[in-house]
Structure 1
Amino acid sequence: MDAGSSAGTRAARADDLYVDTPEALGALTARLSGTPWVALDTEFLREKTYRARLCLLQISAPGIVACIDPLALADLAPLQQLLLDPAIVKILHAARQDLEILHQLWGRIPMPVFDTQIAAALLGPADQIGYGRLVADQLGIELDKGHARTDWSRRPLAPAQLHYAADDVRYLGEIYAIQRDALEARGRQAWFEDECRRLGEPSTYETDPQDAWLRLKGVYRLQGAQLGAARALAAWRETEASRADRPRRWILADEPLLDIARHMPDTPEALGKIRNLPPSTLRRHGAALIEAAARARAQPREAWPELPARPQLDDAQSILAERLMEMLRRASESANIAPAMLATRREIERAATGETDLPVMRGWRAEMLGDELRAFVARARTAPESP
């Protein structure tokens, strides 16, 4: 099969569709009109860009499996209209990256969403289970893994590649039916809906350049005005990477960024002494880097940013954290739920220091565990000798 020709709709498997013309897309969306659900997945590349490049979009519904080629289609409006229909449930596995791409394309997020990875974590002890394992566990089907590293931007796509891509949505409808019934039977539908609702919040996918410095590995080794320089440099890099649509590391890698923040060079000669700063970056961006460092040096002390506090546990708090971890393990085992769905180790350590504004102490997590943690910590803090 020549997947790069303009036949419009072709089979990756006998009953699968390959959609690469406006006419074929219109016919597909017409067939999908009124469907109660669609399963959705994407293939994309982002190794050479700031924003992910959508290369293939797979979709299934009762009686339909299709691979849609966005590289051949200038206008995805019919598909956008379909996926933004709130009457249609969108089924995805590990939905965040897929929804981020659609949010970038359309400025809106298809909702409501049913994330089968979240459902699996609420129905059993496996956290962040992969799609292949979920299909094997639920349906006894072993999926082909041979095209996991395919360059999805290259055309034509071979029949085996399209078959592999179509499999990513082929079984989601069956899994959806199983998980939906299980969630309802165990009284966890409200928990699940609360988790999936957060996937529809635009802030989940939007990056504020002024917060980019907090993701720098090694930023905790800086202090004072150096943190101001790191914030200014990371914000500049974020903006420049977005403007140029290039990976952040292509603009300026973390290591030289942190060294510039540490030394705050004020001349091209001083900047040139920064370790691992490529000459091409010095030529292209040297003036902007020196200017960012200069702005940081000129900031008054009260304008310096502060790093989020890391829990520093004393001996009693460390013992308390272990008690809280044991409570977490017992609660997750009792409910047969992935422990990470309730709380992370860092949250537990923060709870041991007396913090209460934590996810585990809100919503359904509070009912299952958080209220008990809060009461236990309160008792321990009034009698620290015997937590």
Structure 2
Amino acid sequence: MQINFIENKDQLINICQQFSQSEFLAVDTEFFRQTTYYSILALIQICDGKQIAIVDPLAIDDLEPLMDLLYNKEITKVFHSARQDMEIFYHLKGALPEPLFDTQITSALLGYGEQIGYAPLVKQLLNIELDKSQTRTDWLKRPLSKKQIAYAADDVKYLAKLYPLQYERLEELGRLQWLENDFNFLTDNATYAPSPDTIWRKTKGINRLKKQKLAILKLLAGWREELAIEQNRPRRRVISDDTLIGLCNNPPADAAELQEHHGLSEKFLQYNQDIILSLVEQGLKTADKDCPRLPPIIKLSQNEEALADCMMAIVHLSANENNISPQCLCNRKEINALIKGQRDLNILSGWRNELAGKSLVDFLSGNSHLQCSSGQLEMPQNI
């Protein structure tokens, strides 16, 4: 298959015109994200099943012809594990390319395993062993070697072969509609928009905090996120999670106490100590009723743990009957929530509800049971 290395705008316009009538395009990106908040885009690979384009965004200032192609709603964009690629496009354009097809998500619905990697999937479906020697390559370095270009091309060459195979199989099984919610999540701007107001929930060590200490964390973590975005630096390089937790556990009352905290350089405090002290003070003054709260930790009794085991068995039965991954249906956390009375759960909506959710609710209500027959676990339809 022909590989076109695209490094100027004329070449880009030409290849985009050639791709513009395609029904689908296999797409992948290479990027670098160690010293920045946003990923640095290093390559964009595209394949229509006939030829491959490797676009060098470091050499082309104006990528608008490519953006027009990728955001064409008449063309399905095919990714494998699309989330990071979509995050890059959201940052570039403030919107997301759609419609989308993710071969990793569909693989779980076709029985190839949960979150299967691209290389194992190519091996399973196409019986081709991919070269993995360039996995940790520096994609920002130029010029790229022939081996690097070939490796990047393979990421879309076989993706373009996987798509029709998976689409046809999903159609045969009547499962195309099952993907709608999962794909909608990937093409929802809210999935990728920065969230300074809620980022505190992702802080390591958060379970040690309560009330005003959580209020301090919410304020500091939100400010850190905004600063990280403004400076385009990883949030951990602005202030580490450990340092944030330390500030919450031992709130500094003044500059002297603040300087005693580890992880805050003199230069950093020179510019930021006033805002940190102000946010700490604001958090301490937060009324109990206004303090953020962590979601309750679900604790099951011994009987409930046994019940959860039985319900997970039902999930596995349904998964086996439908040749899909159990994790694609439901996890233990959702089962625990279901036992405790929560009903706003993925397992109780759409196709998941049809395959397993209704059976789980029936079992909880005493309207069905599990039994062993001829050494096999089964769930009779009626009792």
Q: How far apart, CA to CA, are the structure 2 residues paired with 1:82 and 1:276?
A: 46
Q: Relative to 1, partners in 2 of residues 1:21 and 1:304: Cα closer, same or farther, differing over 3 Å? A: same
Secondary structure in 1 matching 2:54: strand
| Candidates 218, 234, 238, aligned match of 1:231 | 218
Alignment of 1:217-228 (within 5 A): 217-228=204-215
Q: How far apart, CA to CA, are the structure 2 residues paired with 1:200 and 1:290?
A: 39
Is 2:284 aligned against 1:297? Answer: yes
Deviation, 1:283, is 3.3
Q: 1:150-181 CA deviation, whole Å, 9 max, x = no partner?
A: 11111111111111111100111211111011
Secondary structure in 2 matching 1:55: strand
Q: TM-score, normalised by structure 2?
A: 0.93
Secondary structure in 2 matching 1:370: helix
| Candidates 128, 144, 147, aligned match of 1:141 | 128
Residue 309 of structure 2: aligned partner: 322
How many equivalent pairs are there?
367
Amino acid at match of 1:248: R
Q: Unmatched 5+ residue regions in structure 2?
A: 368-383
Residue 214 of structure 1: aligned partner: 201
Alignment of 1:85-164 (within 5 A): 85-164=72-151
Q: How far apart, CA to CA, are the structure 1 residues paired with 2:187 and 2:155?
A: 22
Deviation, 1:53, is 1.1
Amino acid at match of 1:163: A
Amino acid at match of 1:327: I
Q: 1:171-228 CA deviation, whole Å, 9 max, x = no partner?
A: 1121111101110111111102332122111111123211011001110110110000
Secondary structure in 1 matching 2:141: coil
Alignment of 1:44-83 (within 5 A): 44-83=31-70
Residue 376 of structure 2: aligned partner: none
Q: 1:121-167 CA deviation, whole Å, 9 max, x = no partner?
A: 00005110000011111111111101111111111111111111111
Is 2:27 aligned against 1:40? Answer: yes
Q: How far apart, CA to CA, are the structure 2 residues paired with 1:188 and 1:181?
A: 10
Residue 355 of structure 2: aligned partner: 368
Alignment of 1:344-383 (within 5 A): 344-379=331-366
Deviation, 1:229, is 0.4
Is 2:246 aligned against 1:259? Answer: yes
Secondary structure in 2 matching 1:16: strand
Q: How far apart, CA to CA, are the structure 2 residues paired with 1:62 and 1:337?
A: 28
Q: How far apart, CA to CA, are the structure 1 residues paired with 2:113 and 2:84?
A: 20
Q: How far apart, CA to CA, are the structure 2 residues paired with 1:331 and 1:62?
A: 36
Q: TM-score, normalised by structure 1?
A: 0.92
Is residue 356–residue 374 contact of structure 1 (8 Å, CA) maintained in 2?
no
Amino acid at match of 2:154: D
Q: How far apart, CA to CA, are the structure 2 residues paired with 1:275 and 1:324?
A: 47
Q: Unmatched 5+ residue regions in structure 1?
A: 1-13, 381-387
Q: How far apart, CA to CA, are the structure 1 residues paired with 2:289 and 2:275?
A: 24
Q: How far apart, CA to CA, are the structure 2 residues paired with 1:276 and 1:110?
A: 40
Deviation, 1:279, is 3.8
Is residue 38–residue 88 contact of structure 1 (8 Å, CA) maintained in 2?
yes
Secondary structure in 1 matching 2:42: strand
Is residue 256–residue 276 contact of structure 1 (8 Å, CA) maintained in 2?
yes
Is 2:240 aligned against 1:243? Answer: no
Amino acid at match of 1:144: D
Q: 1:18-40 CA deviation, whole Å, 9 max, x = no partner?
A: 00100000110111121111100
The alignment yields a C-alpha RMSD, in angstroms, of 1.4
Greater CA drift, 155-164 or 277-286: 277-286
Is residue 240–residue 251 contact of structure 1 (8 Å, CA) maintained in 2?
yes
Alignment of 1:266-285 (within 5 A): 266-285=253-272
Q: How far apart, CA to CA, are the structure 2 residues paired with 1:349 and 1:143?
A: 40
Amino acid at match of 1:310: I
Is residue 49–residue 157 contact of structure 2 (8 Å, CA) maintained in 1?
no
Deviation, 1:272, is 1.8
Q: 1:262-316 CA deviation, whole Å, 9 max, x = no partner?
A: 1111212111222344444333422221111011012122211111112111222
Amino acid at match of 2:219: A
Secondary structure in 1 matching 2:101: strand
Is residue 125–residue 339 contact of structure 1 (8 Å, CA) maintained in 2?
no
Q: How far apart, CA to CA, are the structure 1 residues paired with 2:117 and 2:171?
A: 23
Q: 1:312-342 CA deviation, whole Å, 9 max, x = no partner?
A: 1122221211111111111111111111111
Is residue 31–residue 39 contact of structure 2 (8 Å, CA) maintained in 1?
yes
Amino acid at match of 2:23: P
Q: How far apart, CA to CA, are the structure 2 residues paired with 1:376 and 1:367?
A: 14
